[in-house]
Every structure is written in C-alpha cells, then in structure tokens.
Amino acid sequence: QVQLVESGGGLAQAGGALRLSCAASGRTVSRSAMAWFRQPPGKEREFITAITWSGSTTYYADSVRGRFTISRDNAKMTTYLQMNSLKPEDTAVYYCAASDRFPSSPRMAPSAYDYWGPGTQVTVSS
C-alpha cells in the first residue's frame, strides 16, 4: 500500500507563488506516474499535471501550462508542484495521486490513479 500526504497549501495573493509537496510512504512510487488534481469549490475534480515515473515527460492542463511546474525526487519519494503567477481561479483543494497502471503514459482521468492523498487547500486572494 502507498500513503500520500500533501503539504504546502495555504493562502496566497494573486500573482504570488506556492510550492506543494506530496510525500509517499508505505512502498516506493519510483515506478509510478504521479499527478496533481484539484477540486474548486462546487466543481468536479480536474487534472492539472502529471509526470512519468522517470520524470522524463510532463503533461499540463491548458489552465496551468506555463505557470505550474511538476517535478519529482524518487530518492525522497516526493513529488512537487511549483505554482507561480497564481490566480483567484486557482483556489481549490489540491490532491496528488499515483498510478501504477500507466507509469509511462499518465492519464487525465481520476480513475486511472490508484492512490490519493487527502488534499491540501490552496486559496488565492485577489
């Protein structure tokens, strides 16, 4: 089993930055694709970014491309989400997820992910 825990959320001003971390424990996720999703208030969970198990390829939703960066450190079993140029519409609960089934071709569908963290709140004020 894998346990994922997000940290680094909080309150930021529009135009500011936050860095989220997702720490894995229980067993290695070095062979799993990792992703970040978010769920704005009253809306469905949405894909924002993913990274292959090797870290060689990343994927981004149009809404965050150029502002957010995903990275991973397999030795530390930690995945990061650097969020720059934050906007009020980035306000959401942010979740990290791990996929054992699609390690080299991460999917956008939540159902493709096997493990989830409890989420961390990010609030961006205007």
pLDDT digits (tens, 9 = 90+) for 87-118: 999 999 999 999 999 999 999 999 999 999 99
* % of the chain with per-residue pLDDT over 90: 98
Mean pLDDT over residues 31-35, rounded? 96
DSSP 8-state class, residue 41: T
Return the residue matching tokens 């999917």.
107
For residue 97, the cross-strand partners are: 35, 116
Binned at pLDDT 50, 70 and 90, residue 79 comes out as: very high
Mean pLDDT over residues 29-34, rounded? 94
Mean pLDDT over residues 33-49, rounded? 97
The mean pLDDT of the chain is: 97
- Report the C-alpha gap between 74 and 19 in whole angstroms: 17
- Report the C-alpha gap between 108 and 120 in whole angstroms: 20
